[in-house]
Amino acid sequence: MRLYRRQFLSMAARAASAMILSACGSISETRPRQPTSTGTPRSTAPLTRTPTGEVPTSTPAIPAPTSTGTPRPIVGVTPSPTPASKTETPSVRANVDLQSPVGAIPATYFGMHIHRVATTTPWPAIPFGAWRLWDADVGWSDLEPRNGEWHFELLDQYVTLAQKHNVDLLLPLGFPATWASARPDQRSPHFQPGSVAGPKYIEDWRRYISTVARRYKGRIRNYEIWNEPNLPEYWTGTTKELVNLAHEASRILRDVDPSITIVGPSATDSETGPPWLDEYLSIGGGNYLDVIAHHLYVFPSPPETLTPFIGRVRQIIAKHGMSDKPLWNSEIGWALPKVFSSDMEAVGYLARAYILNWVGGVERCYWYAWDNQEWATLLLTAEDSRTLKPAGVAFGEIEKWLIDARIVSYTIDRINTHHCRVTRGENYAARILWNPDGALSYTLPQEWGIRYMRDLTGARRDVSREVSVKIGPVPILFEQ
């Protein structure tokens, strides 16, 4: 049975993972699969098989990517919260220079992970614009479990569903089956033996990339080169080896379809992730990507700790002269040890995370996950993966607040009240307010012309005659 578990990002967990991996054979395989149907047979033409470590090092000519937004210069913000007073007037303490992408917020900013939508999970009741196919049983070892035996049935279903619902797909690449692995006996807590190593022969990697890209040309437009390679439970090769795999994949993907977006390997963890990204870019990895990805998990901390994390990643991107490339948060969510005291605390975390990622310069956020009650603690649905929890309702509401809108200013006042000014077109203006430290009364300036107040349940009320309103850790939208 597949275990939908994720790593804990403490030093102790990483040390434990290293001990586990060095013990080779001490962990039982967590998801054995023995498909019985036979897919497309492998060509019988002889191949000159080259070990993966002998990949050519020349740099191919790759078209310059088109950025979907140009981030502004990095400005670090470290709020120092003070206790909230009973009533607060909007005296600004810090005017934060926006790092957000240029332009309105697109529907694809709101991404999702869904594990079992082709089997037991109904299609989500709330909209989303992008879908990352991770923990969805469509890695290389799933598609080609035996040499030359292809199984596209599940991925075909996902692609059909995505087209039906107008959702943009992101497919992570990597994780070979045991037969293709450079270290077939190496075990991982999450995969069959050998999957966290690179391929033994580069021709097998090339054929895998080419077969998938050609089959889904025009239907899958985004490919990600590996998942969380800074963690030994997902990658045990060297960073240089991964750059070589990205080199080969980018060349093939460009040959198949020059419009494909290539997303770089998505590191994770605020401690080890940024240094890994720095190393990857320093040895040429940036030559083979259009988008830089990172998993910006901050649990158990609150969403406001995203600001320094994103800032650190962006500083590394800028160091290597790649600030024109978009940054995607290809996994976001909360898990243990964070346990939420109430549904509304969870609602506040989710909404603030989506606001702060955009303000920080992130162009896509993929929520982890719609139908995972085993690992996540900030849940969007009940156990039936159908019934919306308050955070699921809030996901749909924050989309309504932000899609096609622009966040034109973001300030933090002297008692840690966060304030975003939002516009949409020429005739709509609103303010989003929250204070992560607790509830307080907030005096609405008359010149704002506020008429309505919306919350994340979708409720709206007229506040045009009110002098002050209650705000707190859950963002509120005030419309002019």
* Structure confidence by residue, pLDDT tens digits, 385-398: 999 999 999 999 99
314-367 confidence digits (pLDDT tens): 999 999 999 999 999 999 999 999 999 999 999 999 999 999 999 999 999 999
251 contacts 37 by C-beta, under 8 angstroms: no
pLDDT digits (tens, 9 = 90+) for 261-306: 999 999 999 999 999 999 999 999 999 999 999 999 999 999 999 9
pLDDT tens-place string over residues 185-196: 999 899 999 999
CA dist list (Å): 159 to 14, 34, 133, 145, 176: 35, 23, 10, 20, 21
Say how far apart CA 198 and CA 205 lie, in whole Å. 9
Are the C-beta atoms of 377 and 437 separated by less than 8 Å? no
Residues in Cβ contact with 402 at an 8 Å cutoff, skipping those fewer than 6 apart: 105, 109, 354, 355, 358, 422
User: 100 pLDDT band (50/70/90 cuts)?
Assistant: confident
Mean pLDDT of 243-256: 98
Lowest mean pLDDT among 43-52, 208-217, 344-353: 43-52
Instruction: Inform me whether the pLDDT recorded for 2 exceeds 60.
Output: no
| pLDDT score, position 10 | 39
Least confident stretch, 27-31, 241-245, 413-417, 432-436 = 27-31
Per-residue model confidence (pLDDT) at position 99: 86
pLDDT of residue 31: 31
Cα atoms in the Cβ-side hemisphere of radius 13 Å centred on 150: 16
Domains plus CATH for the chain?
1-32+137-295 (3.20.20.80), 87-94+409-479 (2.60.40)
Tell me the average pLDDT across 121-147. 98
pLDDT interval class at 102 (50, 70, 90): confident
